[in-house]
Amino acid sequence: MSEKTASVTVRRQIVRKDHTKGKMIFFGVLVLLLLLMTIFAEYICPYDPNQQNLDQALQSPGFAHPFGTDRYGRDMLSRVIIGSQTSIFSALVLVAIITVVGTVIGMICGYAGGVIDSVVMRISDICLAFPGLVFALAIAAILNGGVQNAVIALAAISWPKYSRIARSQTLSVKNTEYIAAARLAGSGSFGIVVRHVLPNIVGSILVTAMLDIGTMMMEIAGLSFLGLGAQPPTAEWGSMMSGGRSMLQTYPWVVLTPGLAIFISVVLFNLLGDTIRDYMDPRNSRRG
């Protein structure tokens, strides 16, 4: 490659990197605003989200109620806003649990190997052998539903992905020269894993977790829609869609407004995750 061609390639990489960084900041700000709305939802709601007024039941969207009202006269905008706390926070907690548990298990299996690795990987194979949502439905049904039980059910079937990523990354790192040098310096296994292995694999783990937030949000909403997640009168987007599904043709705003909230939230988290992945791609790194 000539010097001129190499210079053009480097400039393109710099432009691509800067463009990706700009998008990452933009989507990061939008996600931050979404999270702030979720945190301060109780103060943003124009009405009490649980206050019933049958005289105003099923009012179409208007000035007083921008998203209309449900069958009990509750303001849909207020319920969508307060429902973000259950829907988004549950997804974030779920992703945090499976990321930590799966990463720890994967690092232990990858670094220790032997019987531990074989047994745990066979357990993960069993979890991956079943369709994920069907397995989660069975576990949630056994636990009698509820948001917490829905999170537990999804966590029970979702950790193997992270354990396999962490295991494969650990296997590629543990035989490198700097790990051997750390052993010669007297570092124990725990110190090596925490100080040397984890920092080298955390990037791919975090990108995977970021991309999983939207997926987990939809799966929690799916369990709630089927009656195995949040229970009335708790405001949760999937449960709200389930409660109004029979009125989709006559009073569509009862179903479409929480559905739109799920759509916007999932899209924002997915776009941010995709942008972070592109930004961390070595092919976009500056050289020269």
Any idea where the domains of the chain sit in the sequence? 3-42+76-284
Per-residue confidence (pLDDT) for residue 248, from 0 to 100: 87
Residue 4 has pLDDT above 70, yes or no: no
Task: Say if CB 255 and CB 245 are below 8 A apart.
Answer: yes
Mean pLDDT of the 31-56 span: 93
Q: Which CATH number fits domain 3-42+76-284: 1.10.1740.10, 1.10.3720.10, 2.130.10.10, 3.20.20.70?
A: 1.10.3720.10
Residue 3 has pLDDT above 70, yes or no: no
For residues 202 and 243, what is the distance between their CA atoms, to the nearest angstrom? 40
Residue 162 has pLDDT above 90, yes or no: yes
Which residues, other chains included, contact 190 with Cβ-Cβ below 8 Å and sequence gap of 6+? none
Q: Point out the least confidently predicted range of 35-39, 207-211, 278-282.
A: 278-282
178 band by pLDDT with thresholds 50, 70 and 90: confident
Per-residue confidence (pLDDT) for residue 232, from 0 to 100: 79
Residue 143 has pLDDT above 80, yes or no: yes
Q: Please state, rounded to an integer, the average pLDDT across all residues of the chain.
A: 86
Omega before 233 within 30 of 0, i.e. cis: yes
Quote the DSSP letter at residue 288.
Answer: -
288 band by pLDDT with thresholds 50, 70 and 90: very low
Residue 261 has pLDDT above 90, yes or no: yes
For residues 224 and 218, what is the distance between their CA atoms, to the nearest angstrom? 10
Per-residue confidence (pLDDT) for residue 9, from 0 to 100: 55
Structure tokens at 201: 């694999």
Torsion of Cα atoms, 99 then 105 then 109 then 110, to 10°: 20
**Pick from 38, 184, 201, 22: nearest CA to 111:** 201
Q: CA 244 → CA 88, 96, 241, 253, distances in Å?
A: 21, 31, 5, 9
282 band by pLDDT with thresholds 50, 70 and 90: low
Q: Point out the least confidently predicted range of 80-84, 160-164, 169-173.
A: 169-173
2 CB-contact burial (10 Å; exposed 0-12 / middle 13-18 / buried 19+): exposed
**Pick from 150, 165, 287, 129: nearest CA to 227:** 150
Q: CA 143 → CA 225, 226, 233, distances in Å?
A: 16, 14, 19
Q: What percentage of the chain exceeds 70 in pLDDT?
A: 91
Q: What is the pTM of this model?
A: 0.86
**Pick from 167, 226, 217: nearest CA to 34:** 217
Q: At what angle do helices 253-280 and 76-112 cross, to 10 degrees?
A: 40
In the chain, alpha helices (H) = 3-39, 41-44, 76-112, 114-129, 132-142, 147-173, 177-184, 189-192, 198-225, 237-244, 253-280
Q: Point out the least confidently predicted range of 157-161, 187-191, 220-224.
A: 187-191
100 band by pLDDT with thresholds 50, 70 and 90: very high
